[in-house]
Structure 1
Amino acid sequence: MQALRWHGAQDLRVEQIPVPPTGPQDVRIAVQYCGICGSDLHEFESGPHAIPVGTPHAVSGRTAPLTLGHEFCGTVVEVGSEVSSLTVGDRVAVEPEYRCSQCAYCRHGAYNLCADMGFAGLMGDGGMAEFAVVPSYMLHRLPDGVSLEQAAVMEPAAVALHALRRSQLPAGGSCAIFGLGPIGLLLVKLAKLQGAGTIIAVDVSPERLQMARQAGASLVIDGKGLTARELRHTIASATDGLGVDTSFEAAGLQATFEGAIRALRKGGNMVMVGLMSEARFDAFDAVNRELSLVASVGYRDVYQALIGLIEAGDFDPTSIITKTVPLERAVSEGFSALVQDRSQIKILVSPAIGCNDKR
């Protein structure tokens, strides 16, 4: 089969590799779509960051080179001998978090905090291939009312929904979302669906600000050229001089981190979603205003809720998809396009025949 393999930074190769075997508790799917995530871009540009090199991942047993892609979906073509929950022909979304099922976190249901946490497509082989083999616990059967295209962006939607659940955003409350990549835009949609009163979206891309407005943002702010004080004043002016109840940092940048803290009212809470190695903030100010900072990683127990919202017609995550490319052009028209073009939001790679360009 064909697969997009990570060999090193700036070294992605579409290769012919054997179809992996299906173990007793595994399922093989024919992949229809696989989204390119910001994590994939980091590995492409300057990895390895999460990809195991030398020492195998504790659950997957894999090291580089490996097949990228953790935002994927497809159709079941083979089930392991111990799998009874799925049958050949089922259409499925993949919840790609590995779990050991034995550590204290897994035993208490917090499998996204597993001691050996990882993701298929980063710490093991993923979905940028014609076929993928994953543990059956990762798969969610799709009802007829949910398309595979919708399933392809269910993983970033799961990140956004888990972050929203980690927040203290009340119904009718106000929030500010810093960074309008896929997660930020989906946070706008889900916050609107949850009943947020004022939703402020901040970015420096006119195209992304326009998408946030269409997704339901009450106010969009172009942060380019604004000082932290000016940004704070603009947000305070939109919230009776107080600041927002909740802010989400979804870009992983020092500037957006600082902006998200400054945007808060006294007693507000900030949710850290974007990935960054370290951040600086005014601890005296945080204590003086009694702020809460919480982090959100991955997701747990959200996929069925998302499937229900999509099936009911209340939520459609496909609005963030800007392009679909075939597997053989994933690097030139996928990874490189996302690096060079800020108007691109979510690019899907399709190992299936054909290419649909939604631009």
Structure 2
Amino acid sequence: MNATMKAARWHGAKDIRVERIAVPVVGPQEVKIEVAYCGICGNDLHEYIDGPHVICTEPHPITGMTFPVTLGHEYCGTVVEVGAEVADLQVGARVTVEPEFRCGKCHFCKRGQYNLCNSMGFSGLAADGGLARYAVIPSYMVYPIDDGVSFKEAAVMEPAAVALFAVRKSELKVGDSCAIFGAGPIGLFITMFAHLQGAANIVVIDPSAQRRVKAKELGASLVYDPTQTDAVAEIKKLTKIGVDVAFEAVGLQATLDGCMDSVRKDGTTFIVGLSHGRATFNALATVFRETKIDASVGYRHVYPELISLVVNKRVDLTRVITKIISIGDIVEEGFVSLSSDKRQVKVLIDLAGTAH
């Protein structure tokens, strides 16, 4: 009889089921991970509320999979099996996961821009992911971690990598000023890395009092509640000319407007938040002010740096974790809680049953 495991599966909007499925089989170039923790991402939340957005409704060109799918792309654990063609990983290795599929053949993959692969997808969206006891993924997604790195830290490396890549790509420099619209996990990690980068006058805008407190703890100079304060006006008072870089980390028209209105001439609006509709902006003002618009999707080539930062205690990624739950509670204590309780930032699911 084939072994089975519990998994949190997306069947449709507001329809996530914890059900038993077969333990996945390892292919020649794959590894099987016994998952320790998996986080709920903002993408997962969007899929729960009104998906599908990124979840495949047609077979994915690399994985061939469609829904129902086991969610989860923020995860870590221990390698328990390796495929016949995997030579650089061993059973027992503690690992974190960079969950981007890539073809390795397209124009962008050949240039090393694998996050722009024409067939890019994510474990947990384009194939079964980490919200289960075991996950099977291509070996190129796996990064070993030192024994001194906790699994809780490793589980939040994925959203931290999104933020680190955004800060690096934005070319934020020592002494620059920046505004961060949105203090969810990505916005908070951007705050952390902007502070580490040596940015000055880091301004964070978010309506949640708890998240504003967390932003201050992670390095924000000033925080504003946009429902009570004209944050753009305050930024202009502070900087006289506007910030050097404004990060949009929500995915709303209002926050994009705030970014573009708060950035200085020849400054950069940097979009990280995912919007599932069209956005508009004042093209004439953009031209006359020579402002730049840039963006990033996922990450590339930042995991080694991120792991080094954690190993050397330059950052503490666990500071964004607000709750750890079991897989049986994932709907009410995970998705529903994140939808309604803005005190929550990052919720982890303990797949090993040893956390809390």
Match for residue 90 of structure 2? Answer: 87
Alignment of 1:216-235 (within 5 A): 216-226=219-229, 230-235=230-235
- Length-normalised TM-score, structure 2: 0.97
Alignment of 1:174-213 (within 5 A): 174-213=177-216
1:40 partnered with 2:39: no
1:347 partnered with 2:350: no
1:77 partnered with 2:80: yes
Contact preservation (8 Å) 1:205, 1:342: yes
Contact preservation (8 Å) 2:205, 2:231: no
Distance 2:171 2:288 in 1: 19
Distance 1:306 1:72 in 2: 15
State the Cα distance separating 1:62 from its structure 2 match: 0.7
- Residue in structure 2 matching 1:118, options 96, 118, 121: 121
Distance 1:41 1:197 in 2: 32
1:25 partnered with 2:29: yes
Alignment of 1:231-250 (within 5 A): 231-239=231-239, 241-250=240-249
**Which one-letter code corresponds to 2:323 in the other structure?**
K
Distance 2:16 2:335 in 1: 10
Alpha-carbon RMSD across the aligned residues, in angstroms, is 0.9
- Length-normalised TM-score, structure 1: 0.96
Match for residue 280 of structure 2? Answer: 280
State the Cα distance separating 1:231 from its structure 2 match: 2.5
Match for residue 261 of structure 1? Answer: 260
Q: Deviations over 1:149-197 (max 9, x none)?
A: 1010000000001111111322111000000000000000000001111
Distance 1:353 1:25 in 2: 29
Q: Deviations over 1:51-90 (max 9, x none)?
A: 112x210111111111000000000000000001111110
Q: Deviations over 1:237-290 (max 9, x none)?
A: 111x11100000001011110001111111100110001121121111111110
Match for residue 171 of structure 1? Answer: 174
Unaligned runs of 5+ in 2: none
Of 186-195 and 273-282, more deviation after overlay is shown by 273-282
- Indicate the SS of the match to 1:2: strand
Contact preservation (8 Å) 1:326, 1:354: no
State the Cα distance separating 1:355 from its structure 2 match: 4.6
Distance 1:327 1:354 in 2: 12
Distance 2:336 2:177 in 1: 36
Match for residue 106 of structure 1? Answer: 109
Match for residue 295 of structure 1? Answer: 295
Distance 2:348 2:181 in 1: 24
Match for residue 6 of structure 1? Answer: 10
Contact preservation (8 Å) 1:168, 1:269: no
1:158 partnered with 2:161: yes
User: Are the structure 2 counterparts of residues 92 and 355 from structure 1 closer, same or farther at C-alpha, using a change threshold of 3 Å?
Assistant: closer
Match for residue 308 of structure 1? Answer: 308
Match for residue 51 of structure 1? Answer: 55
Runs of 4+ in 1 over 3 A off after TM superposition: none
**Which one-letter code corresponds to 2:36 in the other structure?**
Q
How many residue pairs get matched?
351
Match for residue 144 of structure 1? Answer: 147
Distance 1:231 1:39 in 2: 27
